[in-house]
Amino acid sequence: MGVYAYSRNVLDYIPAEATFEASQLVQELLRRGEQIRGFNFDGTWLDIGRYEEYGRAIEIFEKERQRFLPED
């Protein structure tokens, strides 16, 4: 899981009339020899698209507010 960032030219590889998931796009780009990069992230990451994780994210934020919104 993560955040995907693409160049505009990848739109050429996405079918107009079909469901096409991010993992399929990555596979298609690899198949065509396009360059793919990954970057490690050592911070806090929660998949807030799931109800349980969203609730957990709220709890963590409330307990550690200063960590996420430090005062200048």
- Reported as a single tens digit per residue, the pLDDT across 4-45 is 888 999 999 999 988 989 889 999 999 999 999 888 888 888
pTM for the full predicted model: 0.57
- Residue 48: which domain range? 41-72
On whether both 1 and 26 belong to a single domain, the answer is: yes
For residue 14, give the amino acid letter. I
On whether both 34 and 49 belong to a single domain, the answer is: no
Residue 38 and residue 32: Cα distance in Å, rounded?
A: 18
The secondary structure element, H or E, covering residue 56 is: helix 51-63
On whether both 30 and 55 belong to a single domain, the answer is: no
Tally of structural domains, the chain: 2
On whether both 33 and 46 belong to a single domain, the answer is: no
Token pair, residue 44, equals 């806090």
